[in-house]
Each structure stands twice: as structure tokens, then as C-alpha cells.
Amino acid sequence: MDPEQIPFPTTLLAIWLFILGLCVGSFLNVVIARVPAGQSIVRPRSRCPKCGYTLTWYDNIPLVSWLVLRGRCRGCGAPISPRYPLVELATGLLFLACLRRFGVSWELVSGLVLITLLIPLTFIDLEHWILPFSLTVPGIVLGVGLAGVQGAEALRDAAVGAAVGFLVFRLMEYLGWTLLRKEAMGGGDKYLVAMLGGFLSWKSLLGILFLSSFQGAVVGILLIALTGRAGPRAEGQGAAQEEQEAPEPELTMTWEFLKPGLPWWRRLAGVPVCLLFQPIPDEPKDEAGQEVDWVPGKTNIPFGPWLALAGLEILLLGPWLTQVLPPNLALLVGGVP
Ligand SMILES: [Zn+2]
């Protein structure tokens, strides 16, 4: 659009939304740092982990403070991660993109909430390999609820999206355990897909599945070729730990049809039963009976960031993608017309 055609109130709204995005991003940095550790996101005030210097209001101005301090603590000069200004800037820019895509509408509100949830989920999964329930489960409720504001049809599409997304990933998780005898994906992924299905309706699910697996596979293969591993290491994972393979989890499923030597149709018949009621295998334990932390292998990638990226692409670029992609792919990504 020609910038001169954008009416003044919209420009003002855009500036306001960008600043709001920077501030929300600043809060999301707190969420990313504290939620995985189980700490409160409200209190206490942020401190430097090195020297304990308590940040004042002028150390907390999004983007500006980090630039003024040149990425160093005012108290001790310890470097502050560039993740802080990056998250703030990304939130601001994505808020702007959302305004451009939807204009002033309920879809804008829903989009802003989705972005606010996807950013911390992405960074937490990259660092800790978890998708906290405290973000995904309220996210499912918010996604379906905000669709409900837009009418009965949108509510139905969102509820179906959340349910189908959850069940499809639950099925894949189950098949991973029974056929491959290993964890094919993180247990939190199905809640993230349910959240995306709630916000973006069931029509987006095929596109999300396609975009996330395709992009994840391409980048994963490139990373293995370049660095020798597909995903980041888990936090605190040392080089010594890297050498030893993660212990095989003990399966505790006692279902009759999982026993070896049964005909394939008996196993298949058990799938729908097991899908909902299959017990989750126990955490692997060491000799002392302590739970052993799962260590990501060289070819493991956290799938959450790829699901989040696919969700953002469909949210912000959906109509554009259906125009530039070949017709078959466009139908997949754009969903059912
Ligand atoms: Zn310090």
C-alpha cells in the first residue's frame, strides 16, 4: 500500500502497537527466563544474575536500555544476552505485521494474543526442550474463546481445530512408541498444535503440519551437515554427557495387543483404544532410583519452534502463500476454501 494512502489514525495506531509490542516483548523476556524455573513472573524485580544489581525503570526500557548500556550490566559490566532486545524487537515487528494483515478487527486481537504466546514457547523450547503447560493450556482456551467472540461458525472451526490437532499428534506420539519404541516427539507438542488449531481453525492444520515438518527437516539436515547435530543442546548439557547415549526408557505398557507375535490386525484394532488410554512410559531411572534427565541426541530437533514458525506464517502470510505456491501446495497451506 502507498504510505500516503494510509490515514493518519492508522499510522498513529501502528506506532502505538509497535511500542506496545516492545513492552510486551520485554515482559516475555521475563516469562522466558522464569517460567521454566517455576518462578513467579510478577515478583521480584529483575536482577543481574552475576552481581545481584536490581534493574531500575530506566534499565528496563525495551530496546533502548540494552543499546545505551551496549549489552552490559550497569552494576558489574557482565554481558546481557542479545536475546533480550531481539525478543522485544521481534514482538514489536510481529505486532505491526498483524495490524497490516488484519486491520482493526477481532482477528487482530486474536493474532496479537497468539504471537504473545508463540514467542516465549519458541525460546523456552529451544533452550530447555519443553513447552510448559502453563502457557499451552491457557492458550487453547484463549484461542477457542477469541474465536467464539467472532461467531458460532468460527467457534466451531476453532473447537474442531483444537480437538483434531491434539488427537492427530496424540496418534503420532502413540505410533512412535509402539512402532519405533522411542519418543518421536515431545509430549508438549500436541498441546501446542491444539493451541494453533484453536487460534487458526482446523483449516490451517494440514498447512501447519506440512510447513513445520518441511522447514524443520531442511534446517535439521543442514545443521547436521554443518555442526554435527540437528538441534541445540539442552541447558547445562556438558561435553561428557554428550558422549553417552540417553538411556532407553522402560516401557510400562501392559496392553495385550502390544505383545510380540500377534497378527497385525490385532495390533491395529488396539490403536483407537490405546490412543486415549495408553499409559505414558516411566521416566528412565538410574541405579539409585533417581530420574535421569532426558538428553537430546544428535539428530533430535525441538519441534515446537517449527510449529510456532508455521503458525506465524499461516497467520501473517496465509493469503500471500496461497498465491505464490504451486496450486497443489497452495491448497495444502491455504486450507479448504
Ligand atoms: Zn551485574
Residues 302, 163 share a domain = yes
Q: How far, in Å, CA of 288 to CA of 283, rounded?
A: 14
Q: How far, in Å, CA of 116 to CA of 146, rounded?
A: 14
Does residue 260 form part of some domain?
A: no
Expressed in angstroms and rounded, the spacing between residue 213 Cα and the centre of ligand 1 is 41
CA angle 308, 311, 316 (to 5 degrees): 125
Q: Is the peptide bond before 284 cis (omega within 30 degrees of 0)?
A: no
pLDDT score for 272: 61
Expressed in angstroms and rounded, the spacing between residue 70 Cα and the centre of ligand 1 is 13
Expressed in angstroms and rounded, the spacing between residue 69 Cα and the centre of ligand 1 is 12
Expressed in angstroms and rounded, the spacing between residue 286 Cα and the centre of ligand 1 is 38
pLDDT score for 270: 65
Expressed in angstroms and rounded, the spacing between residue 25 Cα and the centre of ligand 1 is 22
Inform me whether the pLDDT recorded for 290 exceeds 70.
no
Expressed in angstroms and rounded, the spacing between residue 47 Cα and the centre of ligand 1 is 8
Expressed in angstroms and rounded, the spacing between residue 134 Cα and the centre of ligand 1 is 30
Residues 66, 11 share a domain = yes
The phi, psi pair for 285, rounded to 5°, reads -120, 150
Does residue 306 form part of some domain?
A: yes
Expressed in angstroms and rounded, the spacing between residue 33 Cα and the centre of ligand 1 is 16
Q: Say how many CA atoms lie within 13 Å of 17 toward its Cβ.
A: 24
Residues 79, 114 share a domain = no
Residues 298, 216 share a domain = yes
Does residue 81 form part of some domain?
A: yes
Handedness of CA 184, 187, 193, 194 (dihedral sign): positive
Does 67 or 10 have the greater pLDDT score? 67
Question: Does residue 328 sit in helix, strand or coil?
Answer: helix
Q: State the CB neighbour count (10 A cutoff) for residue 278.
A: 18
Q: Which of 7-11, 26-30, 115-119, 280-284 has the lowest mean pLDDT?
A: 280-284
pLDDT score for 22: 96
Expressed in angstroms and rounded, the spacing between residue 129 Cα and the centre of ligand 1 is 27
Q: Please say whether the beta carbons of 206 and 170 come within 8 A.
A: no
DSSP string, 119-155: HHHHHHHHHHS---HHHHHHHHHHHHHHHHHT-HHHH
Q: 484394532: which residue's cell?
A: 269
pLDDT score for 9: 64
Residues 79, 109 share a domain = no
pLDDT digits (tens, 9 = 90+) for 110-165: 999 999 999 999 999 988 888 999 999 999 999 999 999 989 999 999 999 999 99
Q: In total, how many domains does the chain have?
A: 2
Near ion ligand 1, which residues have CB within 5 Å? 48, 50-51, 53, 73, 75-76, 78
Q: Where are the beta strands (DSSP E) in 237-291?
A: none
Inform me whether the pLDDT recorded for 220 exceeds 70.
yes
pLDDT score for 240: 45
Expressed in angstroms and rounded, the spacing between residue 126 Cα and the centre of ligand 1 is 25
pLDDT band of residue 258 (cuts 50, 70, 90) is: low
Of 93, 86, 56, 89, which is closest to residue 73 (Cα–Cα)? 56
Expressed in angstroms and rounded, the spacing between residue 111 Cα and the centre of ligand 1 is 36
Expressed in angstroms and rounded, the spacing between residue 246 Cα and the centre of ligand 1 is 36
Expressed in angstroms and rounded, the spacing between residue 75 Cα and the centre of ligand 1 is 5
Q: Domain boundary residue among 90, 119, 146?
A: 90
User: Measured between alpha carbons, how far apart are the two ends of the chain, in Å?
Assistant: 26
Residues 323, 182 share a domain = yes
Residues 143, 51 share a domain = no
pLDDT score for 231: 78
Does residue 110 form part of some domain?
A: yes
Residues 114, 74 share a domain = no
Does residue 247 form part of some domain?
A: no
Residues 76, 157 share a domain = no
Expressed in angstroms and rounded, the spacing between residue 236 Cα and the centre of ligand 1 is 21
Domain containing residue 220? 105-235+294-334
Inform me whether the pLDDT recorded for 306 exceeds 90.
yes
Residue 302, by phi and psi: left (phi above 0), alpha (psi -120 to 50) or beta? beta
Q: Amino acid identity, residue 56?
A: T
Which grid cell is 134? Answer: 502453563
Expressed in angstroms and rounded, the spacing between residue 35 Cα and the centre of ligand 1 is 22
Expressed in angstroms and rounded, the spacing between residue 98 Cα and the centre of ligand 1 is 36
Q: 494474543: which residue's cell?
A: 113
Q: Please say whether the beta carbons of 298 and 221 come within 8 A.
A: no
Residues 211, 122 share a domain = yes
pLDDT digits (tens, 9 = 90+) for 171-218: 887 777 667 666 656 678 899 999 999 999 998 999 999 999 889 888
Expressed in angstroms and rounded, the spacing between residue 60 Cα and the centre of ligand 1 is 14
